[in-house]
Amino acid sequence: SPQCTLPTPTPPDHPPRPAVYAAILAGPCAFSRSTPAPLPGLSTAPKQSKRASRESAAPFVMVLPDPTHRAVARVESLSRQLDPRASDLDADARATLLHRNPTAAAAGVDQGGRPIPGGGAGSLTVVDNRTGKKYEVPVEPGGYVPATAFKAIRAGGDGEGLKLFDPGYMNTAPCKSKISYIDGDKGILRYRGYPIEELAAKSTYLESAFALLYGDLPDAHQLSEWEETIMRHSALPVPVVQALEALPHDAHPMGIILAGLNALSTFHPEQNPALQGGGIYSTHGVQDKQIVRIIGKMTTLAAHAYHRNTGRTPAHPNQKLHYAENFLYMLDAGLDPHHLPNPRLAKALDVMFLLHAEHEMNCSTAAARHLASSGVDVYSAVAGAVGALYGPLHGGANEAVLKMLARIGNKEAIPAFLEGVKNKKEKMFGFGHRVYKNFDPRANVIRDVAEEVFGLVGRDPLIDIAVELEKCARRDPYFVERKLYPNVDFYSGLVYRALGFPPEFFTVLFAIPRATGYLAHWRESLTDPDVKIMRPQQVYQGVWLRHYPSINVRQPASSDSMWQVAPSNASRRRLAGGSSDVEAHSASGGG
């Protein structure tokens, strides 16, 4: 491309994109209640990138003794030595097998071929340079250190042990989970062990949701029953609809979703722990009833949110259609009961739902776990998670990408824009990720979705700018060295825009499928023996002690710390002063 002639070698490309939609676009709808439609083959995982080394200063020294699992040699042809049964074992059993067969540990993988998290079990010898004392800190089989172990390290003062300061939870794991797996360096995302690329090509949103919630993909009978049960619970109670219709016409769609979820919590008192006791969720039947209710009703809530600012009423759910089809039906059918959405676009939306269903311990999922630890009802926990997703730093990045592409305007302006990014004069959205230091595996699939959708509805000029911007960034050493690759938000906004959704609705399309992830973590937390009510600590840095002074001797508060509320229009229109001013005003004939 003439816009991207940079004198640097091209970095290793991400793998060829799977042609996810070739079969769909060439023929009829690929939905099937009995078995998911197989789609074309998938690419291999992205090429590995070396993990960047990190150095940090600390007030104490950690000395690693010779652990049992120290890698002493790289073992060739390791697969012949591995026990295939070990892939289904829990962490403790896997660690036990490693002691029996240290050759696997020597190669850095366990008996099932899985990389050993954090190098495996062992211990740290911590030397506190302030006191000269040594402490043994256990390293668990999962490659983690119990944070409470550092409470034993004391050096006088207030007598309290060390705290771990981790703003943003950059290196804190608040739970153990079996739901999804991410390897940010290699660009890997798996739901219950299934690669996201395979699920996008072969599965459906509801089928993958079943796996996320219950651990395995369903058989044909289970899938059919699961889909039909979800659709049976898609209708909203009439009072909830009335509550949504009472909201302002210009309310943000996410605010309407939040209101609907909170309203739903009041309609099912039989499942509320605050009313029925903390053990109400101990039975699978009660858990599953709330799961199908929430998943079934999310699209209906979204349809009401979509039409709130139009003054229209969405069509009633059509339980004969599939999940994404029914959502588009509720948006567009109006009074026509025979309306059918384009099956190819419905399938595209279904894959978008699948890709956004779960992403381990992100901000909103952590919020769901945090709330669930208090024993609150699941509707409130999901509503709180959706509230976190509402934040523009979490769920609104794809809208920012569209604005950025529109501001660039054309492909010829890309080099100047990238120079502005490097000079800190421009912000580039949709590149880089908190976890992925390689290509986001979801972005590969979404780019194909965008191309195929535009092939159906007409090509958006912004997608040409997006493709060229990605190409230029991947050839520029500034972005390559910083491992800034497109993420899931880079192309998702283009897909949603092509499907006719306004930018303020994009986060709703994120919330609909992510409810499955919230519910999976909620369900998992109910049987987690390590779960305690989440109560993080803080590092206090405020005033140590002062006594209450009389109001007559206080100094005025500084303007930057006192409350500042602009006068309302009513205050400006109100007469100043008391009743005497009103009487004088009336006597003078004013009024």
pLDDT digits (tens, 9 = 90+) for 308-351: 988 889 999 999 999 999 999 999 999 999 999 999 999 999 99
Whether residues 66 and 25 fall in one domain: no
Residues ≥6 apart with Cβ < 8 Å to 171 = none
Query: H or E segment at 61?
Result: strand 60-63
Last residue of a domain, one of 113, 129, 145: 145
Whether residues 235 and 132 fall in one domain: no
Return mean pLDDT, the chain.
82
Residue of 159, 133, 164, 132 whose CA lies nearest to 147: 164
pLDDT of residue 129: 94
pLDDT of residue 452: 87
Q: Are 456 and 25 in contact (CB under 8 A)?
A: yes
User: Is 268 designated active site?
Assistant: no
Residue of 382, 380, 356, 311 whose CA lies nearest to 509: 356
Last residue of a domain, one of 536, 553, 570: 536
Whether residue 585 is predicted with pLDDT greater than 50 in this model: the reply is yes
| 559-568 average pLDDT score | 70
pLDDT, tens digit, 9 for 90 and up, residues 48-90: 443 333 333 333 343 433 333 333 222 222 233 333 333 444 4
Percent of the chain whose pLDDT exceeds 70: 77
pLDDT of residue 92: 46
Whether residue 30 is predicted with pLDDT greater than 80 in this model: the reply is no
In a domain, 155, yes or no: no
460-to-8, 401, 428 alpha-carbon distances in Å: 30, 14, 20
Exposed, middle or buried: residue 376 (CB in 10 Å: 0-12, 13-18, 19+)? middle
Q: In what order do the strands lie in the sheet with 122-128?
A: 60-63, 122-128, 134-139
pLDDT of residue 311: 85
In a domain, 547, yes or no: no
In a domain, 542, yes or no: no
Whether residues 113 and 217 fall in one domain: no
Q: Are strands 134-139 and 122-128 parallel, antiparallel or unpaired?
A: antiparallel
Whether residues 44 and 70 fall in one domain: no
User: Is 489 designated active site?
Assistant: yes
Q: Are 333 and 320 in contact (CB under 8 A)?
A: no
CATH for 190: 1.10.580.10
Whether residues 260 and 408 fall in one domain: yes
The tokens of 30 are what?
A: 């690929």
Q: What is the 3-state secondary structure (H, E, C) of 127-190?
A: EECCCCCEEEEEECCCCCCCHHHHHHCCCCCCCCCCCCCCHHHCCCCCCCCCCEEEECCCCEEE
DSSP state of 562: S
Whether residue 111 is predicted with pLDDT greater than 80 in this model: the reply is no
The whole-angstrom separation of Cα 282 and Cα 55 is 46
The whole-angstrom separation of Cα 418 and Cα 138 is 47
Reported as a pLDDT band with limits 50, 70 and 90, residue 35 is: very low
Residue of 59, 60, 173, 71 whose CA lies nearest to 124: 60
The total number of residues shown for the chain amounts to 591
The whole-angstrom separation of Cα 335 and Cα 315 is 7
Tell me which of 433, 440, 448, 521 is the catalytic residue: 433
As beta bridge partners, residue 63 has 125
Tell me which of 183, 370, 489, 521 is the catalytic residue: 489
pLDDT of residue 308: 92
Reported as a pLDDT band with limits 50, 70 and 90, residue 566 is: confident
pLDDT, tens digit, 9 for 90 and up, residues 36-49: 443 333 333 443 44
The tokens of 546 are what?
A: 């002062």
Tell me which of 288, 316, 332, 394 is the catalytic residue: 394
pLDDT, tens digit, 9 for 90 and up, residues 350-381: 999 999 999 999 999 999 999 999 999 999 99
Count of domains for the chain = 2
Q: Are 518 and 385 in contact (CB under 8 A)?
A: yes
Tokens 């990408």 — which residue? Answer: 401
Reduced to 3 states, what is the DSSP secondary structure of residue 37?
coil
Whether residues 216 and 130 fall in one domain: no
In a domain, 178, yes or no: no
Whether residues 453 and 317 fall in one domain: yes
Angle, CA 359 vertex, CA 306 and CA 399 arms, to 5°: 40
User: Is 394 designated active site?
Assistant: yes
In a domain, 419, yes or no: yes
Whether residues 394 and 367 fall in one domain: yes
Last residue of a domain, one of 510, 536, 562: 536
539-to-148, 153, 159, 164, 201 alpha-carbon distances in Å: 16, 16, 15, 9, 48
Domain assignment of residue 441, given as a range: 1-48+185-536
pLDDT, tens digit, 9 for 90 and up, residues 134-188: 999 999 988 899 999 999 999 888 888 999 999 999 999 999 999 999 998 899 9
pLDDT, tens digit, 9 for 90 and up, residues 490-548: 889 999 999 999 999 999 999 999 999 999 999 999 999 999 999 999 999 999 999 99
Whether residues 335 and 383 fall in one domain: yes
Q: Are 389 and 359 in contact (CB under 8 A)?
A: no
In a domain, 571, yes or no: no
Residue of 303, 506, 508, 251 whose CA lies nearest to 402: 506
The whole-angstrom separation of Cα 191 and Cα 210 is 11
Whether residue 246 is predicted with pLDDT greater than 70 in this model: the reply is yes
Indicate the pTM of the whole model: 0.79
Query: H or E segment at 226?
Result: helix 220-232
Reported as a pLDDT band with limits 50, 70 and 90, residue 590 is: low
**End-to-end CA separation in angstroms for the chain:** 72
In a domain, 586, yes or no: no
Exposed, middle or buried: residue 312 (CB in 10 Å: 0-12, 13-18, 19+)? exposed
In a domain, 295, yes or no: yes
Whether residues 194 and 328 fall in one domain: yes
Instruction: Output 464 or 113, whichever has higher pLDDT.
Output: 464
- Torsion on CA atoms 292, 293, 296, 302, rounded to nearest 10: -140
Whether residues 207 and 343 fall in one domain: yes
The tokens of 235 are what?
A: 């209708």
Whether residues 372 and 521 fall in one domain: yes
